[in-house]
Amino acid sequence: MRNIERGTDDNRLFLISFERCMKPLKEMGFNFTYFPPEENSDTLILRYTGAFIIDIERDERLDVGFYCYPLHYDNKPHSMLRIGLNALIFMLSNNKENISHLFTSFWDPWDYVKTAELISDKFFDYYCKIEWFMKDENLDLLYRRIKETGMEFSRSI
């Protein structure tokens, strides 16, 4: 049995798990940026920038977040605009699908690949709708619909 240490090896496994699952984004023209935890207040960030921005984060407590936000909107800081993927999918599924339980599986390194696949599959299932809502002309509707679900959708960086 191989032992994975928390830290560099663990972060590499997390990075590889998502990078493999999110590969179609690169084919869609998204750029990928990796911010290691040492450079970002102990928070690892995988960022995809294209039609909108996607941040996949893991902090020092191993809490994982997957956020989408538009490139530009009313000149507000991005931290005010971030919407968790679980809130987006909940809204887009008419309050039927709640995927927040998937994010707790990142405590076990042996589940990273499987969990990253489940989360990215859900993301790509709803990608066309997410992309539509991230357009400037649809953002007011997006934030109004998200607020109507009653879910907290934004978290500061």
Residue-wise pLDDT tens digits, 85-99: 999 999 999 989 988
- H-type alpha helices, 29-138: 85-92, 112-125, 127-133
DSSP string, 111-124: GHHHHHHHHHHHHH
How many residues are recorded in the chain?
Answer: 157
71 contacts 52 by C-beta, under 8 angstroms = yes
Show the DSSP H helices in the chain as ranges. Answer: 8-21, 23-27, 85-92, 112-125, 127-133, 139-149
* Per-residue pLDDT band at 148 (split at 50, 70, 90): confident
Could you read off the pLDDT of 33-53 as tens digits, one per residue?
999 887 767 888 999 999 999
When mean pLDDT is compared over 11-20, 69-78, 101-110, 123-132, the highest value belongs to 123-132
What are the residues whose beta carbons fall under 8 Å from the beta carbon of 108, sequence distance 6 or more? none
Instruction: Report helix, strand or coil for 11.
Output: helix
The pLDDT, as a whole number, for residue 109 is: 76
pLDDT of residue 105: 67
Question: With pLDDT > 90 as the criterion, what percentage of the chain qualifies?
Answer: 40
Q: What is the mean pLDDT of the chain?
A: 83
Look up residue 104 and give its two tokens: 């707790």
Comparison of pLDDT for 35 and 78, the residue scoring more? 35
Asked if residues 18 and 66 have their Cβ atoms less than 8 Å apart, the reply is no
- Which has the higher per-residue pLDDT, 84 or 108? 84
